[in-house]
Amino acid sequence: MKIMVCIKQVPDDSVKIELDESTGKPSVEGVEPIVNAFDTYALEMAARFLETGIEGEITTITMGDENSKSSIKNCLAVGASHGYVLHDDLFEGSDAQGTAYALGCAVRKIARDEGGDFDIVFCGIETSDETSGQTGPMLAESLGYSLVTNVIALEKKDGVLHVKQETEDGYNIVETPMPCVLTAARPNYDPRYPTIKSKMAARKMPIGELSAADIGARSDKTGESASLVKTIELAAPPKRKAGIKINEEDIEEASLKAFSIMTDANVL
């Protein structure tokens, strides 16, 4: 069983990112880069799946600059055996379609090099920065694989894959052939932490670097010039003004005061 987990390095999602009015860009300066949370769930689910006694390996890949190697290293410390960074000026400014195209080229190229197709290509359902959720489904189209979204667990049964898909009121069990693309939702556990030993081991593992030429990506299919969706501008959402703050010793008095303002405002 060969599993590819696609990850993206994003700014720490516990930090509130707002528009920097002076640059017109998101205020990500100084915010620690982390692996997108949904991608860490994909990796953890893949690792747990293999730990059920299935022989196999996890490869992880990201598109990004030199910097994103640290995120791949983090993945190598918590279950992945191989890591790659897709890096080329050509990829700059790609929209989701250009990204999915390049990832598709890379998945095929690595499969050829490592001697065998990936059975599962796993992505997080969306990233905390773009929150568009397009890359996984588009990657499935690019590769011509089947797709199951909102995955919270997987199991191999009689040679096929049974995937637990979260729904609004419960879950589905979906049978899918392999190869397939899966997108991970949040399972009811946290991903494992690396140990000192696994961190040390990850530090020594090589990380492959792939350029557009390495994966045979065409310049008319990826990067800014091929982008079908163009950003016009970023804007700050309308601000809401804070109203009255009641801070009093006597909580009953404070409550009654608030309550009378509410009745005066006719909101009850």
Partner 1 sequence: MTDRNVFVYIETADGESVKVGPEMLAPAREAAGGGKVTAVIIDAQSDQAAEKALIYGADAVITAACEAAPPENTVGILTAMAEKYGPDIIMIGSTPAGRETAPRLAARIGAGCVTDVNALDITDEGIVWTTPLFGGTILENVGISTDVQVVTIRSGAFKCGEAGDPSGEIIPEEIIMQDGDVKTKIIDSVVEISEQVNLEDAEIIVTGGKGMGTEEDFQKIQELADVLGATVGATRPVIEAGWTSRAHQVGQSGKIVSPKLYIAFGVSGATQHITGMIGSDYIVAVNKDEDAPIFDVADIGIVGDAKKVLPIFIEECRKLKGI
Chain residues 62-101 in contact with partner 1, contact rule CB under 8 A? 95-97, 100
φ, ψ dihedrals at 76, nearest 5°: -65, -20
Task: Report 209-268 residues binding partner 1 (CB under 8 A).
Answer: 227-237, 240, 242-248, 251-252, 254-256, 258-259, 261-263, 265, 267-268
Q: Which is nearer to partner 1, 30 or 243 (CB)?
A: 243
How many CB atoms are located within 10 Å of the residue 260 CB?
Answer: 10
Task: Report 172-191 residues binding partner 1 (CB under 8 A).
Answer: 172-177, 180, 186, 188
Q: Which one of residues 57, 134, 152, 192 is an interface residue with partner 1 (CB under 8 A)?
A: 134
**Binding mask of the shown chain, residues 23 to 52, with x at each position contacting partner 1 by CB under 8 A:** ---x--------------------------
Q: How many chain residues touch partner 1 (CB under 8 A)? A: 76
The answer to whether 99 touches 132, Cβ cutoff 8 Å, is no
Q: Which is nearer to partner 1, 57 or 224 (CB)?
A: 224
Q: For the chain, what is the largest distance between any 2 Cα atoms, rounded to a whole number of angstroms?
A: 73
Task: Report 103-132 residues binding partner 1 (CB under 8 A).
Answer: 128-132
Nearest to 123 by CA among 111, 110, 137: 137
The answer to whether 201 touches 91, Cβ cutoff 8 Å, is no
Tracing tokens 């190697």 back to the chain, one arrives at: 69
Distances (CA, A) of 209 to 67, 72, 83: 12, 11, 9
Q: Which is nearer to partner 1, 74 or 176 (CB)?
A: 176
Beta partners for residue 13, in sequence order:
none
Q: Which one of residues 141, 153, 192, 198 is an interface residue with partner 1 (CB under 8 A)?
A: 141
